[in-house]
Structure 1
Amino acid sequence: MTVAVTGASGQLGRLVVEALLKEGASVVAVVRDPAKVADLAERGVDVRQASYDDPAALDRAFAGVDRVLLVSGNEFGSRVAQHTNVVRAAERAGVELLAYTSIPKAETNPMILAQEHRGTEAVLAEASVPTVLLRNDWYWENFASGVQQAAQGGVLYGAAGAGRVSGAARADYAEAAAKVLTTDGHAGKVYELGGAPRTYDELAQAVSEVAGKPVRYQDLPQADYAAALEKAGLPADYAGVLADADAGIANGVLDIDKGHLEQLLGRPATPAAEVFRAVLG
C-alpha cells in the first residue's frame, strides 16, 4: 500500500510520515520544498514536489498512490480552493481513500478557524472518492509559548473561562492518522479526535507540576486577551483568531469525547503535563 501525505515537511505531516513508516507503509511525502525533507529521502521515502496551488504537480505526486492524507494548509483565506485542488487530483488519480485533518464539530463550530474546514468538508462530501474526516482537537503543543511564559511568570493567560479543551499531543493525532491510512473500514467515517478534556485551570496546574512552582490561570475578556497577544508580538489578525478560539473553548466547542482517539491509538492520549515537560526542556 502506498500512502501520500501532503504537507509532509510540516510539524504534523512529518510525524504522520514517521508513524506510517512504523506501520510498514510505502510513503510518498508531498512537499513544496524537497530540501526540507532531504533526510526522509535518504531513508527511502519517495519525496515528490507539489503545492496545493499546482494541479499538474499534484497529479504527478499522486500517481500510483492508493491513499492520501490531506493535511490542512496554513494559507488562511485560500485553503478551500487549495484543498479542492487536492481533492480533484485525488479523484483523477482514483485513490481508494482520502483522509482530511479537520476541526471538531466542523458543521456547527462557530470559531473563525472552523470556517475553511467546513468549506472543505462540503467539497469532500461531494467527492467521487471515499473520504474520512479526522477532526483533530487542540494540540497541547499549541500552548507552548503560554506555558513557557507561565513557567517564568506564574500565570497562564487565556479567555476560555471554565471551558474544557480535549487536547492531545501532535504525535497522537499523527499516529491515529497512520492507523486510519493503513487499516480498512474507515471510509465515510467522521472521527472527533481528542484526549481527556481539561480546563485552563487544570492546564495551569499541569504547568505548575512540571515547572515546580505555583502557576495559576488568569481569565481575560476576549478583547483583552487578543490585545495582550498582539502586545506580545502576534499580528493583530492572528491574535484575534486565537482569542476567538478561546471563546469557542469557553462555549464548549472543543470539549469532545476521548473515545475515538483512544480507539484508534489503543491507549489513552498523551497527558498535557508530558507535553509541557518537553516544551520546558
Structure 2
Amino acid sequence: MTIAVTTPTGQVGSRVVRLLIQAGVRPRVLVRDPARLDAGTRGHVDVRQGDLTDAAYVREATAGARTVFWVDPTPHIADDPVGTSARTAAGLADAARAGDVARIVFLSSVGAEKRHGAGHIDGLARIEELFDGTGADVLHLRCAYFFTNLLFELDGLARGVLTTAFRPDAPMPWADPRDIGDVAAARLLNPDWRGRLVQAVHGPEDLTFKQVAEILTGALGRPVRLETVDDATVRRGLLAAGLPPAAVEALVGMTAGTRDLVPEQPRDLVTTTPTPLAAWAYAHLRPALAAHGRP
C-alpha cells in the first residue's frame, strides 16, 4: 500500500503521517523542507522534496501512489488565493487522469458546497470539481472551523477580548485538527470505498462565538469578552496590514459567505468527532497564551 501525504508537517498532515506509521504503513511525504520533519519521523517515511506549486514535481512525486492525501498549501495571503489553489491542484489532477493515482482524499471545508461566494473556500470548491473530473475515486473531507484558528487571536485574548465578524449567536461546527487527521487517516487506510464521496468533519458540537467566549473564560482562567466587528472593519484592517486586495476579499469572503451557512452534511455519528473545545483550549491555547509576549 503506497500512500502519499502532502503538507506532512502541518496541523492535519503531521497527525495523518503519525497514524499511518503506527498502522505499519511507510508513507511517501511531499515536503518542501525535509528538515521540518521531526527526527523520529524521518526514518519511517519516504521523502520526496519539492514544491507543491510545481506540477511536474507533483506528477513525479505521486506517480505509483495508490492513494494521495491532498491539502491545499495556498496561503490565505496569496495575491490570487482562489486561482492559486486551483492551479496548484492541477498537477495531481493530471496524475489521476493519467492513471498514476487511483484515489484522492482531499482536505476541503464546510462551505465548499456553495461553489461560489465563500472567499478562499471557493478555491477548495474548484479543487473538488477538478478532482471529481479525473475518474479517480475521490473523497472530500469538508471540515469545520479549526480550533487552532484561535491561536491567531493571542493578542486580543491577552487583553481579554475575542473578536469576530461572525454573528455572535449563530451556531457553527468547530473541530480539532487532530481529530480531522484521525478521520483522514482512517479513510486513507480503508481500501474499500469507491466513487465520489463527501464526508463532513463537524467536531463534537456546534458553537456560537458567544459560547466560545464563555468556554474560553473557563479554560483560560480569565474573563474573555466577545467583540463583534463588521466586514468593512475587517477589510480596512487587512488592507492596512499590507495584504493584497484579492487576498483581503478572499479572507472577508470566507466569513461573509458562510455566515448563515447550514452545512450540506448533517451532524451524525459519521461527521461528529470527540475533542471538546474546552479540553483543547486548556491543553493548547492556555500555554500558548501564557507564553505570549515572553522575551
For this structure pair, what is the TM-score category when the shorter chain's length is used for normalisation? 0.7 to 0.9
Residues 1:47 and 1:19: Cα distance change in structure 2 (over 3 Å): same
Moved over 4 A (4+): 228-231, 236-240, 253-256
The question of whether the paired residues in 2 share the 8 Å contact of 1:33 and 1:49 is answered with yes
Structure 2 distance, partners of 1:151, 1:117, is 30
Structure 2 distance, partners of 1:179, 1:60, is 25
1:47-196 map, 5 Å: 47-75=47-75, 76=81, 77-92=83-98, 94-108=100-114, 110-146=117-153, 148-161=154-167, 162-187=169-194, 188-195=196-203, 196=205
Once the two structures are TM-superposed, the CA of residue 142 in structure 1 deviates from its matched residue by 0.8
Residues 1:40 and 1:60: Cα distance change in structure 2 (over 3 Å): farther
Structure 1 distance, partners of 2:123, 2:21, is 30
1:256-275 map, 5 Å: 257-259=266-268, 262-263=269-270, 268-275=273-280
TM norm structure 2 = 0.83
Q: 1:276 pairs with 258, 275, 281, which one? A: 281
Q: 1:244 pairs with 253, 259, 267, which one? A: 253
RMSD: 2.5
Structure 1 distance, partners of 2:59, 2:273, is 38
The question of whether the paired residues in 2 share the 8 Å contact of 1:197 and 1:256 is answered with no
Once the two structures are TM-superposed, the CA of residue 240 in structure 1 deviates from its matched residue by 4.6
Structure 2 distance, partners of 1:177, 1:189, is 13
Alignment pair present for 1:3 and 2:10: no
Once the two structures are TM-superposed, the CA of residue 6 in structure 1 deviates from its matched residue by 1.4
The code of the aligned residue for 2:174 comes to G
Once the two structures are TM-superposed, the CA of residue 234 in structure 1 deviates from its matched residue by 7.0
Aligned to 2:216: 207
Once the two structures are TM-superposed, the CA of residue 171 in structure 1 deviates from its matched residue by 0.7
Number of equivalenced pairs? 275
Q: Which moved more, 1:185-194 or 1:55-64?
A: 55-64
Structure 1: runs of 5+ lacking an equivalent: none
| Equivalent position SS for 2:27 | strand
| Equivalent position SS for 1:26 | coil
Aligned to 1:23: 23
Structure 2 distance, partners of 1:211, 1:234, is 32
TM norm structure 1 = 0.86
The question of whether the paired residues in 2 share the 8 Å contact of 1:137 and 1:254 is answered with no
Structure 1 distance, partners of 2:264, 2:206, is 6
Residues 1:189 and 1:256: Cα distance change in structure 2 (over 3 Å): closer
Once the two structures are TM-superposed, the CA of residue 229 in structure 1 deviates from its matched residue by 5.4
